Chains A and B, each alone.
Chain A
Amino acid sequence: MVVPNALVIAWKALRRNRMQTALTMLGMTIGVATVLTMIALGSGAQKAIQDQVKAAGMNMLLVTAGNYQAQRERPPDDAIEMGRLHNPEVEMQPHLQLAMFHPEDDPFAVHDHPTSRQRLGDAEAGLGAAATLTLDDAEAVRKIKGVQYAVEGVHENVHVASGDTRWFTRVHGDGSALPEIRRSWKFTHGGFFSARQQRNKDQVVVLGSIVAEKLFGDKSPVGETVTLWKQPFKVVGVVTSANWMVTPEAGDDQFDAVYLPVTTMQSLLNLSKLNDITVTTESTGDVTRVAKTITTVLRSRHGIDSNHPDDFTVTSQASKALLKGGLRPDVAQAVTGNVGGLEKVTLDQLGKTLDKSSKTMTALLASIATVSLIVGGIGIMNIMMLSVTERTREIGIRRAVGAREKEVLMQFIYESVTLSVVGGLLGILIGTVAAISISHVVQWSTSISPLSILLSFGISAAVGIFFGYYPAREASRVAPLTSLRFE
């Protein structure tokens, strides 16, 4: 019974002091709007960083044919065992774990003689020219649990010609799922070739934006025909970078390049093997496990026993991606400068660093939010305190006509809660609009979650109660007689 009446009274009292009410609300509105916009921009930035890291290949593995690790010769009988090499991150093959050297050898000597290279076994190691991966291997990898996409890759250089214009560039024979892996791609014209075109070995080509510009200028090349290896290819799309950090440049591997279905390329060049298989995992945290599974599967498929090294290499793309996939050269240099062996930085460590930086960001935002809300709350408290002094007479009148202490207390609490909640709601509105328009103007992704709206609302109500209670209690303790005498 008392509650609705007190609310009515509070509302009427606020209406009496419109200017004061509006100004106090404005303080709260700005506070909440700031908080909401900050949170939206902050979480948007976080999301953008995560997206870009993903786009840069945090969840990517590259399986290359061949193995740079040479098979060592059986050590001589009089070699001295130095101990066991141990690397907790990577399971080393048993024959490589023993660190041995011959007493006559200088372990620090550089073996640059042709025979030493022979001993390292160029032929067996392959050094990239090996042809050990097949389409069936790719299919087997695709079936491993946790693998999102597995895309075959054959890479060559080629002359692309359109009429009299020629351009020497990279050609990639790939699976049709490639755009799913290259998240930082966008198509300015057309699209990527389809799975069906890949199956049919169609002579279709997707041009990188540099190639398209060199051959066709500003014109849309889609539907035109270009010549590779004196064969006509129909252009189905043009790809460029959607990532503001990466600009297509002549000589890069992604946009100064053309893409063909891997099947078309294999049949035209009479190839049966792949250079590499690009794999993405469904979750970033799963990369290490998937890498191990791929190794096991491929070793068994290639019939390699435990005494022989892999004839392929599985590398995570994180380090490579940090260097060329997303970062500006100067940033990449700074990163590599700080981290001695970037190759040794594991995905876990990178993930932890990102986690840490996003936690720092959240802490920063939270502290800004806290400060603005406290300022807004103190504004309300200030006005309410002033208002108690200023309105002593009003309180006296109310007490004289029968208002109880509790009713005066409730009136003032309702007033401050109304101020903060209505101010807060306006703030939510303005903050949402601001966040959306900022994201439009700056092209920054912002995300306003229902949770952050709910949180802002709850916090503004709490601020109203917390900062309104003390002034309200003061108001309720004003004796009716003194307040009537107050002029």
Chain B
Amino acid sequence: MNPVISVRSLTKTYHVGEHQVHALRSISLDVYPGEFVSVIGPSGSGKSTLMHILGCLDQPTSGQYFLDGRDVSRLSDDEISLVRNKQIGFVFQGFNLLTRTSALENVELPLLYGTGNVSAAERRKRAMAALKSVGLESRWDHHTNQLSGGQQQRVAIARALLNNPSILLADEPTGNLDSKTSIEVMEIFQSLQRERGITIVLITHELDVAAYGSRIMTFKDGNILSDVANDSRRHASGELESLPVPAEGVL
């Protein structure tokens, strides 16, 4: 099987004043379709830089990055935009939804860009389907500020999934959520991996969140410290069932 992500000798160096910061020091890694990779490490370890390069939001200083077998590290801006539109889905810590805009319109957003003209009715249909898959179809007309953190993150996930990307990149997706909603979001990720076979790369600095992945990669000082399969994997669906039902208003 060909890897969906293949990185060879990737380096990224920032210049901060006189100093050079080596965020990534010659990284090589492969991610295969259907994997759920948790990338863990302290802040400044280079994991966020990796995620930005994997998500085509940033360019590496040197090295190669193959996405679905195609070297995307030297593409033009227009081509990279199309890659972000079709092949990559993002979920951020801060949700990054458009304010004063309904959930539905936020989810529709990727369909307004990229190639192919999608009719308004078709956009709406597909966005509703995506909202339904994260269980928010009844809140489609709510503005983002009328939704809870967990609901906002689910809207973001629906948006990320709209164009059926080959990889889903999540940067601290539970950073702003309480433990129960964190588990709910992880449940969505695990079911996406299980049912749709989506490749997920999850960046986190919390070990117990990383434990939901099938493979754990540890970063330190711009190097991969360890890269192991997760033997003691947590399963969010089981944990949700065993949670005590909280009283209304606690959330």
Give chain A's interface residues, CB within 8 Å of chain B.
Answer: 1, 4-5, 8-9, 12, 16-17, 393-394, 396-407, 480-481, 484, 487
Contact = CB atoms under 8 A, between A and B. Distances in A.
Interface stretch (B75-83, B146-154, B193-201, B212-220): B75-83
Given A402-B113, A404-B113, 4 more contacts: A8-B120, A400-B55, A400-B96, A401-B159
Pick the most buried of A396, A405, A481: most chain B CB atoms within 10 A of its CB.
Answer: A481
Contacts of A407: 113
A5 B98 contact: no
Contact of B105 (A12, A397, A406): A12
Contacts of B57: 399-400, 480-481, 484
B113 A16 contact: no
Contacts of A484: 57, 92, 96
B58 A401 contact: no
A398 B96 contact: no
Nearest to A12: B105
Given A5-B117, A16-B100, A401 B109 contact: yes
B137 to A, nearest CB: 21
A397 B85 contact: no
Interface in B79-110: 81-82, 84-86, 90, 92, 94, 96-101, 105, 109-110
Task: State the 10 A-B residue pairs at the shortest beta-carbon distance, nearest first.
Answer: A402-B85, A404-B81, A402-B113, A401-B110, A16-B100, A481-B57, A1-B117, A403-B113, A402-B84, A397-B96
Interface in B101-155: 101, 105, 109-110, 112-117, 120
Contacts of A405: 77-78, 81
A82 to B, nearest CB: 91
* A-side interface mostly: helix
B100 A401 contact: no
B197 to A, nearest CB: 22
B114 A402 contact: yes
Given A5-B112, A8-B112, A12-B105, A404 B78 contact: yes
B114 A4 contact: no
Interface residues of B, number: 32
A4 B123 CA distance: 14
Interface string B32-43: 000000000000
Contacts of B110: 401-402
B180 interface: no
Contacts of B52: 481
B90 A16 contact: no
A397 B114 contact: no
Nearest to B99: A16
A397 B78 contact: no
B166 to A, nearest CB: 14
Contacts of A403: 81, 85, 112-113
A394 B120 CA distance: 21
A215 B78 CA distance: 91
Contacts of B116: 1
Nearest to A397: B96
Given A402-B110, A406-B78, A481-B52, A16 B98 contact: yes
B85 A401 contact: yes
A207 B163 CA distance: 89
A477 B98 CA distance: 20
B108 to A, nearest CB: 9
Contact of B113 (A5, A12, A393): A5
Contacts of B163: 402
A407 B77 CA distance: 12
B101 A401 contact: no
A35 to B, nearest CB: 33
A39 B120 CA distance: 42
23 contacts: A4-B117, A5-B112, A5-B117, A9-B112, A12-B105, A16-B100, A397-B96, A398-B113, A400-B55, A400-B84, A400-B90, A401-B109, A401-B110, A401-B113, A402-B110, A402-B113, A403-B85, A404-B78, A404-B81, A404-B82, A406-B78, A407-B113, A480-B84
A484 B81 CA distance: 15
B96 A12 contact: no
Contacts of B78: 404-406
A243 B185 CA distance: 83
A397 B97 contact: yes
B192 to A, nearest CB: 18
Contacts of B77: 404-405
A476 B154 CA distance: 28
Contacts of A401: 84-85, 90, 109-110, 113, 159
A394 B81 CA distance: 16
B67 to A, nearest CB: 14
Contacts of A404: 77-78, 81-82, 113
Contact of A397 (B58, B86, B98): B98
A405 B84 CA distance: 13
Contacts of A9: 112
Pick the most buried of B58, B97, B114, B116: most chain A CB atoms within 10 A of its CB.
Answer: B114
A398 B159 CA distance: 12
